[in-house]
Structure 1
Amino acid sequence: MIGKRALLTCALEAGGLHRLLEATPSWSGLLVLNYHRIGDPTGSPLDWGLWSAGEKQFADQVRYLARHFDVVGLESLDEILEGRRGRHVMITFDDGYRDNYEAAFPILQAHGVPAVFFLTSGFLDDRPVAWWDEIAWMIRTSRKTDINLPGWLDDRLMFDEPDRQQAVDALLRIYKQLPHDRTANFLDNVANATGSGRCPRHVGDSLWMDWSMVREMRAGGMDIGAHTVTHPVLANLPADRQQIEIENSRQRIETELGEPVRAFSYPVGQPESYNADTQAALQRSGIRWAFTYHGGYVPAHSNALNPLALPRAAVERETDSASLRSLVTLPQLFA
C-alpha cells in the first residue's frame, strides 16, 4: 500500500513542482540529514538498516544538495540558529563506520561540501561488534526459522530467507527498551535461542575507522562530534553513568584531534532515548549542540529552539532521488 507521502512525492515529481520549489524556496532555516553507512549491504550478516545509501546514490544526493542548497558545517550553526536566512542543509553521520572514510569522505570532498561525523569513541578504540550488528548477525547466521524468548515475545518470532530484517528490527525494539543492566543477558538469550552463539569479536576489526582517518577527515574540512563511548540508550542509564559516557567520549576525541568538541548526537535519538539528566550532563561537558534522530527541521527565527535537541531527518536506502527532493524542498511536510 502506497503511503500518503509517497503519493504526494509522485504528484510533485509528475507535475514538475520539485523544480519549481528548487527555484522558489518555500522554507528558510536548517535541515539536518542523518546517515550511518554508505555501500551495499547485500550478503552482509550485519544490520542492513544501518546502510543509508549506496555509493552512487550518495554521490547523486550530495551533488543535488550542493547545487540547490547551502550545505553547512558546525561553524555556521550559531548564525543559522540566530536567524540567518537561507535553506541550510547539514549532512551528518553517526557511529564511526569505516565506510564513512572510504566511501563518503571522497564524495564529500569531490563536491566541496562538509559533513559532521559523530563518533562512538570506544568503537574506534576497542573494535567491538555493536549491539545492533550482533543481534543481526545472530539472526542472519541462525539455521532456525523461529525463536522463542520467554518473557519478551508474545509469540514465537518467525523469520525466513531471503530477508530476516523484520526479525532483527523486532529484537532491536526490545533491546532499546531494556534497563542497561539487562542488555548483556538479553544478548546471551538471543544467542542461545538462535543457536548462533555470540558474534566473534574479530568481525569488528574492519568495521570502524581509526584515529588517523578521523584526523585526515578533520584536516579535509569535515567536523567531528561525540556519540558516547559504548553507544548505550542514555535514558536507560543512571545520571552518573550518562555523564561518564558523554564526558569520556568528548575527552577521547579531543585528545586525538587537539581541539574542543562541542557537538553531540544522541544514540538511538528518539524522544525516550535521552532525558533531563542527559542534557544536564551535556551542559557540564561543554556541549553546545546536540542532535536527535526523530525528524523535523529548524525554521528560521524559531521561538522554541533547544540547541540540545536539534532535529535530524533520516536518509535511508529507500530514499530515492524523488523522495530526497521532497524532503529537502518541503521539510515542513516530509521531514
Structure 2
Amino acid sequence: MKDLIIMYHYVMEPEHWKGSVPISPGEFRRQVEWAKEHYEIIHPENLHKHTTKPKCVLSFDDATKDQYTNAFQILKELEVPGYFTVMSGPLIEKKVPIFHLVHTVLSHFSDEEIWEEVSNRVDIDEIKNKSAIYSYETNEYRRFVKYLFNFYWSEEQSRPYLEEKVISIYTSLDMFIDKFYLSEKEILEMDAGGMSIGVHCVNHLPYEGSAQDFYDIEIRPCKKYLEKILNKEMKLYTPSFGGGEQSIQMQIELLPILKEQGFLLGFTTEKGFTDLREGFWHKRIDCNQLTINEVV
C-alpha cells in the first residue's frame, strides 16, 4: 500500500453549512479512527520516519475556525497529528476571498433569494448556458449563483454585494473574520498541541504570471507571518486551488524557488496515493471522495 494524504476543508455539520460540502465531525472521527487502524498517521515533516504501516497525513486547507473547534479537538482525543495550512490575508489584511464569501452567503440565504436579487443585473440566458460547469449542483439556482459570482462578475462587482450580505449576518467583516478563521492564539495552541502548521497563501489566488512574483505575493508574506508568530521555519506548502488551471506549470516553475527557501514538501489537489519519501509534490484524496473499502 502507498502512503495516503487526506484533504479536509470544513469540518462541520452539513445542515449548518450549505454553501459547500463539509464533512461532519462524526464522519471525520470515523475516518481518523479508520486511518489510525490501517496507517501510521504522521507529521509530514517526519516523511522519512520508519513505520511498519504505510504513512498517512491528515491535511487541512484555509485555517477556518471549525478546524480548531471540531477537528483539532478530535485529533487530540485520538492522539494523532494533523497538518493545518494558514491563509494569512484575512488575519493581516482583513480581506476575505470571494469563494469564502460565496460559501457564507449560500449558507445563510436561499439560492432562489439570491438569484431573484441579482438576475435583473445580468444576461440570464448566458448564465443559464455557461453555468453548466456546475452540473453536479442539483439546484439550478445554485448553479446560476455560483457561476455569477465566480466567473461572470469581476471581483469588483461581486465583493460589494457579498460583503453586504455577510455584514448583515455578522455585523462587520472584522466580526466575521474573528468567527470564521483561526486566530493567532488558536494557531499557537494547535502548534503547541502537536499539530503541524504550513503555508497556504495570502489571498487564495490561483497560480499565474512569473513564479517569483507569485512567490513574493502569495507565499513569502504568509511564510514570514507564521515564522514570526511560531518562532520557527516553515517547511510545508499547500497551494490554493492546488495551483488552479496552471497547476502543472506551477509545480515545475515554483519548485526551485520553494526548495531554495527551505520548503520540504508541497501538496496538490491531484487525486491519488503517493510515496512521501519520493519527490516534492504529493497527491491527496478529498475526504468526501475517500472510499474506505477501495483503499484497504
What CA RMSD, in Å, does the superposition of the two structures yield over aligned residues?
3.4
Paired residue for 2:20, among 39, 42, 48? Answer: 48
For 1:166, give the aligned amino acid. Answer: R
CA contact (8 A) 2:237 2:263 kept: yes
1:64 and 2:40 are equivalent in the alignment: no
* 1:125 Cα offset (Å): 3.2
- SS of the equivalent of 2:197 reads strand
Percent of aligned positions that are identical: 20
* 1:283 Cα offset (Å): 2.7
- SS of the equivalent of 1:48 reads coil
Aligned residue for 1:89?
A: 56
1:174 and 2:144 are equivalent in the alignment: no
Q: Distance in 2 between matches of 1:149 and 1:129?
A: 24
Q: Distance in 2 between matches of 1:71 and 1:163?
A: 40
Paired residue for 2:211, among 222, 227, 239? Answer: 239
Gapped regions of structure 1 (runs ≥ 5):
1-26, 176-181, 330-335
Q: Distance in 2 between matches of 1:91 and 1:56?
A: 16
CA contact (8 A) 2:207 2:243 kept: no
Aligned residue for 1:313?
A: 285
Q: Aligned pair in 2 of structure 1 residues 104, 234: CA closer, same or farther (>3 Å)?
A: same
1:211-248 alpha-carbon deviations (Å, 9 max, x no partner): 1111111111110000011111123x443431222111
TM-score, normalised via structure 2 length? 0.78
Q: Distance in 2 between matches of 1:295 and 1:173?
A: 23
Matches within 5 A, 1:79-228: 79=49, 86-137=53-104, 140=109, 142-145=113-116, 147=119, 149-150=122-123, 153=127, 155=129, 165-167=142-144, 169-171=146-148, 174=151, 183-185=154-156, 187-188=158-159, 191=161, 199-200=166-167, 201=173, 202-228=175-201
Q: Distance in 1 between matches of 2:26 and 2:262?
A: 38
Q: Aligned pair in 2 of structure 1 residues 44, 154: CA closer, same or farther (>3 Å)?
A: closer
Structure 1 window deviating more from structure 2 (263-272 vs 139-148): it is 139-148
Aligned residue for 1:279?
A: 255
- SS of the equivalent of 1:221 reads coil
Q: Distance in 1 between matches of 2:129 and 2:244?
A: 28
Q: Aligned pair in 2 of structure 1 residues 172, 58: CA closer, same or farther (>3 Å)?
A: farther
- SS of the equivalent of 2:271 reads coil
For 1:185, give the aligned amino acid. Answer: E
Q: Distance in 1 between matches of 2:226 and 2:191?
A: 11
Aligned residue for 1:22?
A: none
1:265 and 2:238 are equivalent in the alignment: yes
CA contact (8 A) 2:267 2:283 kept: yes
* 1:71 Cα offset (Å): 0.9
Q: Distance in 1 between matches of 2:270 and 2:158?
A: 26
Q: Distance in 1 between matches of 2:114 and 2:243?
A: 33
Aligned residue for 2:271?
A: 295
1:230-272 alpha-carbon deviations (Å, 9 max, x no partner): 111123x443431222111111101111111100001011563
CA contact (8 A) 2:115 2:141 kept: no
Q: Distance in 2 between matches of 1:225 and 1:120?
A: 9
1:37 and 2:10 are equivalent in the alignment: yes
Gapped regions of structure 2 (runs ≥ 5):
168-172
Aligned residue for 2:170?
A: none
- SS of the equivalent of 2:237 reads strand
CA contact (8 A) 1:73 1:116 kept: yes
CA contact (8 A) 1:96 1:123 kept: no
For 2:272, give the aligned amino acid. Answer: G
* 1:153 Cα offset (Å): 3.7
Q: Distance in 2 between matches of 1:59 and 1:168?
A: 33
- SS of the equivalent of 1:292 reads strand
Q: Distance in 2 between matches of 1:314 and 1:300?
A: 17
